[in-house]
Amino acid sequence: MVNEYRDASGKRLVDYPRPSVAVDTAVLTVPPGGPLSVVQVRDAEAGDWRLPGTFVHEGERLAAAVLRSLSEKAGVAGLAPTQLHVFDEPSRDSRGWVLSVAHLDVVPFAALAPGLERAGAQLVPVDDATGMVHGHDDILAFAVARLRTTYAGAPDPHGLLAQPFTISELRAVHEAVLGERLLPDSFRRAMVPMLVDTGERAASGPGKPAARYRRV
């Protein structure tokens, strides 16, 4: 018979109180001509809007729980969320002691729109997505800060913009993500060395046709 594990104080694992574990995901995108936005789902019982999330089932891996919640609650599949941060403040969730393993995914709008409509989910500008339950405001703020850090130094690293694109189109996406206006000349000088000129030119618009680029 295998002896039951006990630690140095003689306690078994089951003798320690354990929190519930949840996964919550900030799915961010930029709608055409719009600001940085986040996916929200409506809770069937409370009726409020929040980030898609769920409690982790027994024997379930975190990644599987994330994909399950996104499919069942937001109507989206085929995403590749990454772990963002563990939110472990004991009083963060009004339901009790709940650890949230927060995740982030950044997805082109075209990959989200059909599923969101079918599931009754919605896209909300990140500046308007406030007052969410279970500490979701903190999760969203952390996710947005992380995303903005990546967009400060690289051209559209998450591929929100379809390729090829002009520098003006690229700048518009960066402005949406960063939430601020960018100087055109400074932006061009910073980004062009990290892009490949396709040799194509934009077919419309006033003035000289703009060059089209791809990410390296």
Q: How far apart are CA 5 and CA 10, in angstroms?
A: 9
100 vs 187: CA distance, rounded Å: 37
DSSP labels for 38-104?
Answer: EEEEE-TTT--EE--EEEPPTT--HHHHHHHHIIIII---S---EEEEEE--TTS-TTSSEEEEEEE
Please indicate, yes or no, if residue 202 is contained in any of the structural domains. Answer: yes
Residues 196 and 171 grouped into a single domain: yes
Considering 43-52, 114-123, 144-153, the range whose residues carry the highest mean pLDDT is 144-153
Does the model's pTM come out above 0.85? yes
Domain range for 116 is 13-151
In a domain, 156, yes or no: no
Strand partners, 213: 165, 197
pLDDT at 146: 97
Mean pLDDT over each residue of the chain, to the nearest integer: 92
Same domain? 63 vs 137: yes
Amino acid 32: pLDDT = 93
Instruction: Report the distance separating Cα 4 and Cα 13, nearest Å.
Output: 9
Indicate the number of domains in the chain. 2
- pLDDT score of 203 more than 80: no
CA dihedral 138→54→161→149, nearest 10 degrees, is 30
Quick: pLDDT tens for 39-58: 999 998 889 999 999 999 99
Please give the average per-residue pLDDT across 133-146, as a whole number.
97
Three-class SS state of 9: coil
Same-domain status, 43 and 138: yes
Residue 61: burial class (beta carbons within 10 Å; 0-12, 13-18, 19+):
exposed
CATH code, 204: 1.10.10.10
60 pLDDT above the threshold of 80: yes
Residues 134, 171: one domain? no
Instruction: State whether 124 and 180 are in the same domain.
Output: no
